[in-house]
Structure 1
Amino acid sequence: MSGGQFSLMKTQRFLPLFVTQFFGAFNDNLLKNAVIVLISFHGMRLFGLAPELTIQLTAALFILPFFFFSATSGQLCEKYDKALVARFVKQMEIAIMMIAALGFFLESGAILMSTIFLMGVHSTLFGPLKYSVLPQYLRDEELVGGNGLIEMGTFVSIILGQVAGTVLIDEFHSRTAIVGALMLCAVVGYLAARQMPPAPSAISDLRVDFNFVRQTFAIIGHAKQNRAVWLSLLGISWFWFLGAIYLSKLPTYASEVLGGKASVYTLLMTLFSLGVGLGSVLCEKLSGRKVELGLVPFGSIGLCLFGIDLYFATPAKALSPMGWLEFVSDASHWRLMADFTLIGIFGGFYIVPLYALIQSRSEPTFRSRAIAANNILNSLFMVVSALFAGVLAALKVDIPTVLLSAALLNIVVALYIYSLLPEILMRFVVWILTHLMYRVKVDGLDHIPDEGPCVLVCNHVSFMDALIIAGACRRPVRFVMDHQIFKIPVISFVFRTARAIPIAPSKEDPEMKARAFDKVAEELANGEVVCIFPEGKITYDGEMNPFRSGVEDIVLRTPVPVIPMALRGMWGSFFSRKNGPAMQRFPRRFWSKIELLAEPAIAPAQVTAAGLQTQVARMRGDWK
């Protein structure tokens, strides 16, 4: 994928899926927003309910199918070819849009509310499909970029659906145009689904259990067995807890708190959605085309900071009713608009790596049901979110304070999740340190196999070498390192969480050395990647020290391929020993360019310490 993630848009294995989900999400939001505008600004009522409660009901009707049908949907997407399921779902959407047309022409709130429920059923069926099919269509290095494009497309379609729903109702008062747009998008989505390549089932003999209660508990119980996947599901659901608060309160926030017309509400939704789309697309660039969990804490920090700032950026009292152009022209609103955009951007940083982790670490035979479990949890968290917002509303808490409470609560929840899965926080530390200090260019890392054991060997220039390699490799790496480096404050957290293996020279602690070699053999037997620095110590003069025979002992005991690597440009950095002890002077180099190279694996029978040293020295060249 030399052209980056956007080159996927030229391929049949991605573009039809993108178009199908784009127009489905557009229709969801066109329909919902048209109904919300009719309720909020044009006096449509249902059963005499107040506008805010009617809007809450609209959200509840869309969420409800996720409880009833997610388990069944996950099974159907597991059992049948996902491309065929997509076509069926799109045919169903065309029928739903016909019912919506009747509701608009009859101006019937009851019919329109029923179609919102049915579109919730549509989204329930399509959700597990669009995420679980990505690993079938995309290569591992394309997964983050593909997820980013899907999230971007989803939120851009939200923007367009919101704008279209508002403009067609509020500006043109045209039911005919809305019905035409809904039908056109449903048909285009169906035609795109027909172009999706086959995505065969991984478990075609699965027996579908239509008892949604039993299956809901079954798939959630199965998801809990994989700790990383389960906590990622909870993390995504928490994002939708926050999102549900923002989305449900935004119409009232725009009209009553800001004194805006419907176009101001649409503007704020547009900024938020554009932000999520931009953050989602940037994930591939920031993560180096791999599943980078370090972006998750980065995203949650931004959600907290800008969510809190939104409270202080909100005007003390509403001004006279204004349209979006008047709102934008007032410089006092720019900070508020920036907050909405940045909340969206950091939301994209937060959510895309979690989706990619679920896809990459779920078993292929359970992937669709894992996404279904995610949908169930998302809907549950959104209901809890509605109850949370409802309780605060009953207590007469104003909307800016409700949004502030959500941002503050996010701090507590984020810290709790990261304490349960310290790998996420560890990756954040690695990501911050490596991206703050260096621009890392990598070449040849595709020689590291996607599965199975191997040993990486590399020259040893600085105390940051292990972190740079860990940050660049797609797979987790078990490092064998000097026990003194293992104890360095701050980065020792990284090494412990990454399950690094401390080692000492035999003359200093022969028992520790023996335990280290036993642990290396165990990790390789379990199919892990192990990295060693055969020099045994960091260079004092920039030149490579002789490679010791430990690597020969490792492959003699556990014959696995050995992949030579070379770091270039680290000599002279803050973490190297140039001009004296490392980390004793103020850093003079920030964001400096370095390189990490790898060459094809060497068969275990051909591995020698001297041969590896010659090869690594050649790869490093004169750039120390």
Structure 2
Amino acid sequence: MTLQTNDSAPHPNQFALLKQRRFAPFFWTQFSGAANDNLFKFSFTVMVTYQLSVSWLPPALAGLVIGALFILPFLLFSATSGQLTDKFPKTRMIRAVKNLEIAIMLVAAYGFFTTNLTVQIPVLLACVFLMGLHSTLFGPVKFAYLPQVLSDAELTGGNGMVEMGTFVAILLGNIVGGLLVTIPEVGHTAVAIGCVALALIGRWLAQAIPELAATDPQLKINWNPFTETWRNLQLAHGNLVVFRSLLGISWMWFFGAVFLSQFPSFAKEVLHGDEQVATLLLVLFSIGIGTGSLLCEVLSRRHVEIGLVPLGAIGMSVFAVDLYFASRGLPVVPVMGLGAFVAQSAHWRVMADLALLSLFAGLYSVPMYALIQLRSQPTHRARIIAANNILNALFMIGSSVIAGALLSSGFSIPQIFLFTGLANAVVAFYIFLLVPEYLLRFVAWLLSHCVYRFKVTGEQHIPISGPAILACNHVSFVDAVLLMAASPRPIVFLMDHRIFQVPVLGWLFRLAKAIPIAPRAEDPAAYDAAFAAAAKVLQDGDLLGIFPEGGITKDGTLQEFKGGIMKILERAPVPVIPMALTNLWGSYFSRIEQGGAMVRPFRRGMLNRVGLNVGTVVSAAEVQPALLRNRVEELLA
């Protein structure tokens, strides 16, 4: 059995990645591609809506047709693109996709230059489909590239940067496209030049991306998109945590698509603002997503912290529901420009709600992407991400259908936002019950950030792969929760059966699938079953957390270590990592000399400093209860 620990060398923050060749050329390549997609699409939409008269493509349908054509390749070709990304080196794939982008933009330039509508519109519609294909091919590369060049500690920050960059690029592409296409006489030429220039810049940047080896060069391509799509979904379903995370991300795209699609109508019909107000809503949404994405690394202690996902879901629902209350009942007034809109304090709450719900959407999505990258097998990671793109497309189409049905049924736009916010709460609660790890990590994150000031020392010794036993002193009823907060991986705990009788905590530990153990004299069958279950955890390559004292200390001192750990090591000889929780004695969740636990909650105030000191690995052959106790005692000192 192998054990891999975190790199002990300090790693840069997410902004420092922009100075490194392994990340910067890739970041700016994907940034230019996202900007070009949206510059082209929005320019074309404005042309058809405001500047041209096409009998078979009325303005009311133009946006829907262009959006549908762009999404269609995700449904048809995502499965194939995932296979190509796994089979061939990712750098080669990126450069091939950028070559394709140049070719498409040259054809689009012809479409912008010509004045023959019978040629112009079909050519540009074909280019919309082809740019959708370009994005379909690039999607799996984008998210499968990062785990190959970033450490686990950098993965959340790297994903946050990519997510932020994507939404900023979308925003800039829409704004620049809208400005260029409306320039008198030369607008179409300016758009054509801009699209080709961005494609060339993207290809130039791609040349600097480091060469990477293919992850599955022997893969045989299945060119049937339908059978391969089904196979990809089955492949993703093989890891239920990953598959349900894919569904969670797809739900976020459903949620976001509802708001983004309604911004123009919301600005005009509800807020009584002009096109500049609609653009402001898009700006606020993009800034919120970008800010939330960047905050993930700060709030996660630079590891993949999926505890942020429930926090993000709560914020999405709260501010979506508040947006309904903030926007209903606004007085009917003549259409306002940007200055008049911002000047009215009644609109500030609307703007704050939009910015905050999108900020929490960033907190929700980035850890899920990082978790999928971390938990997927490298050999078929790109195909898992391709499955995610298929689900995203289906959910976005579903959001359009449901929003349209609600509008046809008489729902107002604020009522649709209310419906979406409430539905988000239901869906999130269901996902977190299906994957309790999200909820458990959220509780651990809250405890370590909002109740205690929790500092971990020696965290590089916590293994990021391979089986191991984490042996820690037992000071309080929340020791296991704090260890969850410190570990980059799930931990299965072997715990005294009496702790399962504690209200709330007992439910939490049952949800965590902790293993209850009773004294042999009290229940011999349960005693033997607990050790068998503990060995099975290690044989499966997972982490087992134990408290060798056998119970919570009654006086704050370290008790003698019992011999149960030796029984476990006899069945599964794995490394042991000694740990020591510090400064917890006397807190709300520990016992005290003058009374029991969980009385007088503020007896030590709020945000007490507590810590976890992690020691170096002890091999299975060295472990003895007395030696392990000495190691923990040294860590306490």
Specify the TM-score bucket, using the shorter chain as the normaliser.
Answer: over 0.9
Query: SS of the counterpart of 2:555?
Result: coil
Query: Which amino acid in the other structure matches residue 512 of structure 1?
Result: A
Query: SS of the counterpart of 2:613?
Result: strand
Given the alignment of the two structures, is residue 123 of structure 1 paired with residue 135 of structure 2, yes or no?
yes
Given the alignment of the two structures, is residue 26 of structure 1 paired with residue 35 of structure 2, yes or no?
yes
Given the alignment of the two structures, is residue 232 of structure 1 paired with residue 245 of structure 2, yes or no?
yes
Question: Residue 161 of structure 1 is aligned with which of 173, 185, 190?
Answer: 173
CA distance in 1, matches of 2:399, 2:37: 21
Question: Residue 477 of structure 1 is aligned with which of 491, 499, 502?
Answer: 491
Aligned to 1:269: 282
Aligned to 2:620: 604
Query: Which amino acid in the other structure matches residue 277 of structure 1?
Result: G
Query: SS of the counterpart of 2:379?
Result: coil
Equivalent pairs counted in the alignment come to 620
Question: Residue 599 of structure 2 is aligned with which of 565, 569, 584?
Answer: 584
Identical residues among aligned pairs (%)? 48
CA distance in 1, matches of 2:206, 2:511: 43
Question: Residue 146 of structure 2 is aligned with which of 134, 139, 159?
Answer: 134
Query: SS of the counterpart of 1:479?
Result: strand
CA distance in 2, matches of 1:613, 1:139: 33
Over aligned residues, Cα RMSD in angstroms?
1.9
Query: Which amino acid in the other structure matches residue 585 of structure 2?
Result: W
Q: After superposition, give the CA deviation of every residue in 1:249-285 in whole Å (9 maximum; x if it has no partner).
A: 1122223332322221111111111111111111122
Query: SS of the counterpart of 2:15?
Result: helix
The offset of 1:45, in angstroms, is 4.6
Aligned to 1:195: 208
- Any residues of structure 2 matched to 1:65-214 within 5 Å, and which? 65-106=73-114, 108-170=120-182, 174-214=187-227
Contact 1:65 1:121 in 2 (8 A): yes
CA distance in 2, matches of 1:255, 1:113: 27
Given the alignment of the two structures, is residue 342 of structure 1 paired with residue 359 of structure 2, yes or no?
no
Given the alignment of the two structures, is residue 487 of structure 1 paired with residue 496 of structure 2, yes or no?
no
CA distance in 1, matches of 2:407, 2:566: 68
Q: Structure 1 length normalisation: TM-score?
A: 0.95
Contact 1:37 1:262 in 2 (8 A): no
CA distance in 2, matches of 1:45, 1:292: 51
CA distance in 1, matches of 2:629, 2:576: 13
CA distance in 2, matches of 1:489, 1:49: 62
Contact 1:461 1:539 in 2 (8 A): yes
Query: Which amino acid in the other structure matches residue 65 of structure 2?
Result: L
CA distance in 1, matches of 2:435, 2:557: 39
CA distance in 2, matches of 1:13, 1:22: 15
- Any residues of structure 2 matched to 1:224-623 within 5 Å, and which? 224-314=237-327, 316-578=330-592, 579-588=594-603, 589-621=605-637
CA distance in 2, matches of 1:408, 1:196: 43
The offset of 1:65, in angstroms, is 0.8
CA distance in 1, matches of 2:291, 2:577: 36
Query: Which amino acid in the other structure matches residue 405 of structure 2?
Result: V
The offset of 1:464, in angstroms, is 0.9
Contact 2:11 2:154 in 1 (8 A): no
CA distance in 2, matches of 1:258, 1:215: 46
The offset of 1:379, in angstroms, is 0.7
CA distance in 2, matches of 1:209, 1:59: 28
Contact 1:464 1:575 in 2 (8 A): yes
Moved beyond 6 Å, runs of 4+? none
Structure 2 unaligned residues grouped into runs of 5+: 1-9
CA distance in 1, matches of 2:64, 2:571: 64
Query: SS of the counterpart of 1:595?
Result: strand
Query: Which amino acid in the other structure matches residue 4 of structure 1?
Result: N
CA distance in 1, matches of 2:194, 2:613: 52
CA distance in 2, matches of 1:284, 1:318: 43
Contact 1:94 1:183 in 2 (8 A): yes
The offset of 1:179, in angstroms, is 2.7
The offset of 1:324, in angstroms, is 2.3
CA distance in 1, matches of 2:276, 2:410: 26
Aligned to 1:52: 60
Contact 1:297 1:350 in 2 (8 A): yes
Structure 1 unaligned residues grouped into runs of 5+: none
Q: After superposition, give the CA deviation of every residue in 1:381-419 in whole Å (9 maximum; x if it has no partner).
A: 111111112222333433222222222222222222223
CA distance in 1, matches of 2:541, 2:25: 36
CA distance in 2, matches of 1:610, 1:144: 39
CA distance in 2, matches of 1:302, 1:318: 29
Q: Structure 2 length normalisation: TM-score?
A: 0.93
CA distance in 1, matches of 2:51, 2:266: 18
Between 1:610-619 and 1:268-277, the stretch displaced more is 610-619
CA distance in 2, matches of 1:576, 1:215: 54
The offset of 1:491, in angstroms, is 2.2
Query: Which amino acid in the other structure matches residue 150 of structure 1?
Result: V
CA distance in 2, matches of 1:583, 1:354: 34
Q: After superposition, give the CA deviation of every residue in 1:452-478 in whole Å (9 maximum; x if it has no partner).
A: 221111111111111000111011111
Between 1:466-475 and 1:183-192, the stretch displaced more is 183-192
The offset of 1:492, in angstroms, is 2.2
Contact 2:267 2:274 in 1 (8 A): yes
Contact 1:52 1:252 in 2 (8 A): no
Closer, same or farther in 2 for the Cα pair 1:593/1:163, shift >3 Å? farther
Query: Which amino acid in the other structure matches residue 158 of structure 1?
Result: I
Between 1:89-98 and 1:579-588, the stretch displaced more is 579-588
Query: Which amino acid in the other structure matches residue 387 of structure 1?
Result: V
CA distance in 2, matches of 1:327, 1:170: 23
Contact 1:145 1:281 in 2 (8 A): yes
